Chain A
Amino acid sequence: MLQLLLELFATFFLIGMVSFGGGYAMIPLIQEEAVNRHEWLDAQQFTDIIAIAGMSPGPIATNIAIFIGMQEAGLLGAIVAAAGMVLPSLFIIVCVGVVFFKIYQNKWLQSSFYGLRAIITGLIIYAAILFAVNNGLVGELSWFTASQLLIFLGSLAALLLFRKHPVYVIIASGLIGIAIYG
């Protein structure tokens, strides 16, 4: 048990340390650590957790960490995972927070952000591809694939064009799922 808690903490501490530019970029990283390496859950469970995390208030990566911690080791696991996720930022704020204002406009720091943002974008695109493949969005043309593609496009339009809140989009999608797959 202690070892599991330590592993949870160490894993999410590592992820918390590099979670630049928003939680979605951390999806491939969490997948690599929690699904492939530690085998805490399988790919489909992971997608479901992202759905739950997306429906909950709070940042998505932290939500995923809490959920995985809870599933693996109960309340203590959830606390440990959340702590792992947020402690790196706390350290950074306490250690360099005040200095950061002065170096923030620094050219080299800004240059590194230039590279970071591009990598983060690439990681999120990869996450989208990964999940599209895992969930049968790409595959031989069948009624199922077609319906999944329609749901995907509809959801994207709702988010991008009609600017609906993700929570409503997820809930609406769930209801549609019950109607057509139920």
Chain B
Amino acid sequence: MKTEKGVLWTIFLTFLKIGPVTFGGGYAMIPVIEREVVEKRKWLETRDIADIFAVAESIPGAIGINSATFIGYRVAGIRGALAAMIGILLPTFCIILLLSLFFLQMKGHPKMEAAFISIRATIVALIAYAAIKIGKTALVDKTSAVLILLTVIVMYFGHSFIHPVLLIAGGAAAGIGIIMLKQKLGRKTPLTKRTKRTKRTKQEPIFDYMI
């Protein structure tokens, strides 16, 4: 039996290693976390970890960080959660710091400026890509299409006086309201369109690290 300190240290190191290998957060991390936690460390069973991923995806925050935190919590309580969270964040944190220093140094350099003129257009594409990806899970019926469209319109014309946080809270309330109303009208709504997680992890390739 290891000491508590030893366990915390192992948790920290395990997630520290996962961070840079998988290029950060997102769905790319899931198979790696699973291998480390279930097969190598035997902290949890495959069934438990599937539940953890489902929850990690649903609560706010990045799925990779959330999964790590949750696993740390299951293994060693609050301190385990902290150890896992810091472990998974630390590599990213350092890389961002280095990149930001590099970026501030290079700022104003003509070649750099030219590169960024092009990169800005690519960022728009990246955001559009994210919209398409998440749109696939959100667009389940006509009502959800209306909700999506309404959000865009409200943000476009009302962004100066409507805070996005209100919209997000409103969205959750609207979801409940709509489903209730539809139930009264006797209609069924497909709540999700997702396939089983195991299938999805295989389908979603490594590039979905955005979340």
Contact = CB atoms under 8 A, between A and B. Distances in A.
Interface of A: 14, 16-25, 27-29, 32, 44, 47-48, 50-63, 66-67, 70-71, 75, 78, 82, 85-86, 88-90, 92-94, 97, 100-101, 104, 107-108, 110-129, 131-132, 135, 137, 148-149, 151-156, 159-160, 163-167, 169-170, 173-178, 180-182
8 contacts: A48-B103, A57-B23, A58-B92, A88-B60, A92-B59, A112-B173, A152-B128, A166-B126
Contact of A164 (B54, B176, B207, B209): B207
A139 to B, nearest CB: 12
A127 B127 contact: yes
B61 A86 contact: yes
Contacts of A124: 127, 130-131, 134-135
B65 to A, nearest CB: 6
Interface string B54-82: 11001111101110011001000010011
A97 B70 contact: yes
A132 B113 CA distance: 18
Given A92-B59, A182-B114, A115 B129 contact: no
Contacts of B177: 115
Chain A interface mostly:
helix
A63 B36 CA distance: 24
Interface size, B (range): 35 or more
A108 B54 CA distance: 16
Given A24-B131, A89-B59, A180-B114, 9 more contacts: A59-B211, A89-B66, A104-B54, A110-B191, A117-B134, A122-B155, A148-B121, A152-B125, A177-B117
A177 B65 contact: no
Given A59-B64, A131-B124, A165-B206, A175 B115 contact: yes
Contact of B144 (A67, A86, A114): A114
A59 B25 contact: yes
Chain B interface mostly:
helix
Contact of B117 (A22, A114, A181): A181
Nearest to B174: A115
B207 A116 contact: no
Interface of B: 19-20, 22-26, 51, 54-55, 58-62, 64-66, 69-70, 73, 78, 81-82, 85, 89, 91-93, 95-97, 99-100, 103-104, 110-111, 113-132, 134-135, 137-140, 144, 147-152, 155-156, 159, 163-165, 167-180, 189, 191-192, 205-207, 209-211
Contact of A60 (B82, B117, B210): B210
A113 B58 contact: yes
A167 B28 CA distance: 14
Contacts of A104: 51, 54-55, 58
Contacts of A58: 19, 24-25, 62, 64, 89, 91-93, 95-96
Contact of B135 (A63, A71, A121): A121
Contact of B92 (A50, A56, A107, A154): A56
Contacts of A51: 116, 119-120, 122-123
B172 A70 contact: no
Nearest to B155: A126
Contact of B115 (A44, A117, A178): A178
Given A58-B25, A90-B82, A148-B121, A115 B59 contact: no
Contacts of A78: 93, 96-97
